[in-house]
Amino acid sequence: MTTPLLLGLIGLALAQPVPALLARMEWPYRAPRAAVVLWQALALAAILAMVGAGLSASLWLVVHEGAPNPAPDAWRVALHVAFMALTLVVVLRTAWSMIVVAIEVRAVRRRHRTLVDLVASRDAAGRSVRILDAPEPLAYCLPGMDARVVLSRGTLASLEPSELEAVLAHERAHLRARHDLVLDAFTALHRAFPRVLRSDAALDSTRVLVELLADDHARRASGTTPLARALVKIGTQPAPAGTLGATTTLVRRIERLEEDGKGRREAAACYLTAALVVLGPTISLAVPWMSSAWATLS
């Protein structure tokens, strides 16, 4: 019974307290790409641990002294069926959440894209750029196969050419790297967990990290000063639902622009931790249990 208990505790820890603790740490934000991998590893390891706990517990209930029990008690059979059902629910809930989020987000973006094409004008800066006739500073992108970068008249009026180029580079970095797929996956995993186990830390932190990744590209393309000035000028308006915007997490993003470090040590720590989180329970608990289960059933 040790394996299911340990896997269950690991799954619960990775679902809530560990993400909450990691979200309060500053060092992962110095290596955003590696930090995204770390968050993905935590989510994957949590689901694998939950599934492994259910499977190992269900097998333990019908095995006696290292061999299948030919006549298990009724309560063992009932618990065995219950654990198998719960394991199946975890898998199906995760898959269903992925499908539902993909459908919902795609519909929201399609409606917003249609609306933007109706009310906005094309811009000479690019075929996919649309200009809204609004005085408020807005800048965001609509990802997908038919992507759009949306700016407002207020943004064009308030930015210098170099600053506008930095904003466009930021939004195009989102589209080129398909950061929307990363956020959609975390949104689905967030919904897949029951409310009592659900933590906003992974989704919120990933939203920050993809903005930092796009900032890195914009800084390389246009320079740090134009990007920082652009963030200050347009960094107050939230982006619409289903879009990726350059106006969130303003304080953290500007503070990071002031840092000169490359974050190599932080990146190495993130990758190492991600590998340990996924491979540690697998090698130390799952593989020995699978070997023992195979020997028992064969």
- The percentage of residues in the chain with a pLDDT greater than 70, rounded to a whole number, is 87
Quickly tell me which residue has 């299948």 as its tokens.
Answer: 68
**Does 155 reside within a domain?**
yes
Statement to judge: residues 223 and 124 lie in one domain: yes
Asked if the structure places residue 84 within a domain, the reply is no
| Longest CA span, the chain | 79
Give yes or no: residues 191 and 236 share one domain: yes
184 and 95 inside one domain: yes
Question: Within this chain, do residues 64 and 96 fall inside the same structural domain, yes or no?
Answer: no
Is residue 148 within 8 A of residue 140, CB to CB? The reply is no
In eight-state DSSP terms, residue 149 is E
| 106 and 249 housed in the same domain | yes
Asked if residue 43 and residue 166 are part of one domain, the reply reads no
Tens of pLDDT, residues 112-153: 999 998 988 887 656 788 999 988 888 899 998 888 899 999
The whole model's pTM is what? 0.86
- Which phi and psi (to 5°) does residue 140 adopt? -160, 175
> Residue 111: what pLDDT?
92
111, part of any domain: yes
Query: In residues, how long is the chain?
Result: 298
93-119 pLDDT, tens per residue? 999 999 999 999 999 999 999 999 898
User: Do 110 and 231 fall into the same domain?
Assistant: yes
Of residues 40, 48, 49, 50, the one with CA closest to residue 19? 40
| Count of structural domains within the chain | 2
What is the pLDDT, as a whole number, of residue 55?
81
Looking at the domain assignment, is residue 157 inside a domain? yes
Closest by Cα among 2, 8, 37, 18 to 267:
37
Per the domain annotation, does 82 fall within a domain? no
Are 47 and 112 contained in the same domain?
no
Residue 112 lies in a domain: yes
Residues 62/76, Cβ–Cβ less than 8 Å: yes
Domain coverage including residue 111: 90-259
User: CA 202 to CA 218: how far, in whole Å?
Assistant: 24
Question: Is 115 in the same domain as 237?
Answer: yes
What pLDDT does 195 receive? 78
If asked whether residues 56 and 139 sit together in one domain, one would say no
Question: What is the token pair recorded at 297?
Answer: 């059933």
Residue 171's nearest CA partner among 213, 233, 199 is: 213
164 and 295: one domain? Answer: no
The reply to whether 271 falls in a domain is no
Same domain? For 289 and 214 the reply is no
Decide the pairing of beta strands 63-64 and 244-245: unpaired
How far apart are alpha carbons 120 and 203 in whole angstroms? Answer: 31
Spell out, as residue ranges, where the chain has pLDDT lower than 70: 1, 63-72, 124-126, 236-237, 245-248, 260-261, 286-287, 289-298
- Is 149 part of a structural domain of the chain? yes
